């Protein structure tokens, strides 16, 4: 699966957020899951606030976890309801999917699944949401073990994933990101 490099995406979708001016932003896609409690505990232990991009059907499955994310001081954003690519469904379906997600997730932030957008979908979504992509995709879902130091700088938006079957990679990546941020004197914030 191909992920667009954020500078390339910005050429076509200028209002999409791919990087900010200050701090370092951990974002966690595909929440909540059976793993979310462990992730929250780890973030608490490390003193980091993050932004969880939640999938609507997962919120219905684990409604208490979305509440727990917010209760612990993190922020949430929409990551659709069914987690479908904008390249594989109609505009009407995609917008309906975003509306369904908005019915169960209270946020003005939206991250398209896979980072996929089309012009018609983008033009509609930007009327209601701040669309957030990323500066650095860690590829934790492919079990990549190394976090690239050169990809992390002030204002970076980093993507990790909330998946049961690779919590070990999540934990490993977060430790590396913390070490890199300390070396570069960067502090964490939520979107």
Map residue 46 onto helix, strand or coil.
helix
- Please name the residues in contact with 109: beta carbons below 8 A apart, sequence gap of 6 or more: 51, 53, 75, 76, 77, 78, 129, 130, 132, 191
pTM comes to 0.94
Q: Contact, 126 vs 10, CB < 8 A?
A: no
Position 83 in a domain: yes
* pLDDT tier, 4 (very low <50, low <70, confident <90, very high otherwise): very low
How many folded domains does the chain comprise?
1
Nearest alpha carbon to residue 167 among 25, 52, 40 = 40
Find the domain containing 28 and state its range.
Answer: 6-189
- Determine whether 144 is exposed, middle or buried from the number of CB atoms within 10 Å of its CB (0-12, 13-18, 19+): middle
> Distances from the Cα of 45 to the Cαs of 42, 48, 53, 54, 175, in angstroms?
5, 8, 21, 22, 12
* pLDDT tier, 8 (very low <50, low <70, confident <90, very high otherwise): low
Interval 22-57: pLDDT, tens: 999 999 999 999 999 999 999 999 999 999 999 999
Whose structure tokens read 């957030």?
132
Position 39 in a domain: yes
The mean pLDDT value for 68-78 works out to 98
Position 149 in a domain: yes
Rounded Cα gap, residues 12 and 3, in angstroms: 14
Position 1 in a domain: no
On average, the pLDDT of the chain sits at 93
Position 184 in a domain: yes
Domain CATH code at residue 124? 3.20.20.370
């Amino acid at each position: 699966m191909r992920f667009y490099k954020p500078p390339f995406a910005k050429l076509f979708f200028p209002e999409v957020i791919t990087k900010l001016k200050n701090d370092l932003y951990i974002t966690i896609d595909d929440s909540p899951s059976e793993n979310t409690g462990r992730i929250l505990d780890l973030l608490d232990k490390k003193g980091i606030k993050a932004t969880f991009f939640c999938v609507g059907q997962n919120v219905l499955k684990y409604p208490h976890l979305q509440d727990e994310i917010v209760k612990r001081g993190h922020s949430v954003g929409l990551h659709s309801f069914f987690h479908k690519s904008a390249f594989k469904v109609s505009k009407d379906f995609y917008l309906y999917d975003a509306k369904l997600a908005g019915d169960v997730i209270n946020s003005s932030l939206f991250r398209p699944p896979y980072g996929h957008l089309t012009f018609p979908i983008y033009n509609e979504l930007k009327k209601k949401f701040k669309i957030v992509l990323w500066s650095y995709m860690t590829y934790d879902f492919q079990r990549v073990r190394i976090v690239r130091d050169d990809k992390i700088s002030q204002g970076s938006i980093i993507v990790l994933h909330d998946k049961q079957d690779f919590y070990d990679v999540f934990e490993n990546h977060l430790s590396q990101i913390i070490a890199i941020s300390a070396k570069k004197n960067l502090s964490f914030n939520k979107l």
